[in-house]
Amino acid sequence: MDLDEMKQTWATMDARLDVLEAAISRDRLARSRAALRWTSLGDLGELIVAILLVAVVAPFWIRHRAVPHLLIAGLALHVYGIAVIWSVAVRVLLVGRIYYTKPVLVIQQRLAALRRFRIRASLALGLPWWILWVPCTMIAAYAWCGIDLYAESPAWVLMSLGVGAIGIIGCLVLARWLAGREITSPMLTRWVDSLAGRGLRRASEELDELAAFSKS
């Protein structure tokens, strides 16, 4: 084989490798986009639940605004529902900034920003349920059974709220301890992934593998 034939062979091999790399890149990007789409569908479901929550509790606390503990219980859930709606709106905006026509590094940075916000929002919206289950139970008991739990057993309500406050403090201490540390425990890793959303984790992993492939 002379020099010209060798050059032509190398050029053909390079062209085939370029086609292969482009196909792999498209496949990775498509998988990442699909995983992100599933995450967005989960956000849509969360938004629907929050709107339903607000629609249910708003008439309740308006009707019982003369009863302080029922008013507070209804308002607490109402404010929580609005917070969830706001959180979903921010997530939608962050997802809208992710264009898969951008360089991989840019997509990775924007996915990382979305992941950080989702973890913080999940903590901020999840921890209150240590306490929110109490007003939720109070409203359900009054609406469905006509039982005023606070009037019947104020000690139980106050004790439950106290235990919930301790639970929130414990979770905040754990989250602060984990911040900035490398997580090696599989259980804690699954917990953090659940906060960010497994679909978002898969989207990030596809891009990480694509970036590693491009450097190799």
Average pLDDT, integer, range 153-176 = 90
In whole angstroms, give the CA distance from residue 77 to residue 190: 28
pLDDT for residue 111:
79
CA–CA separation, 109 vs 125, rounded Å?
24
Domain ranges of the chain: 3-215
Window from 4-8, 22-26, 41-45, 165-169 with minimum mean pLDDT: 22-26
For residue 145, what are the CA distances in angstroms to 61, 137, 148?
A: 17, 11, 9
The two tokens of residue 111 are 């996915």
Tokens for 129, please give them.
């349920």
pTM, full prediction? 0.74
Confidence of residue 165 (pLDDT cuts 50, 70, 90): very high
Nearest C-alpha neighbor of 119 from the set 177, 197, 187 = 197
Joined together, the tokens standing for residue 110 give 């924007």
12-23: per-residue pLDDT in tens?
Answer: 555 444 443 444
CA-based diameter of the chain, in Å?
Answer: 97
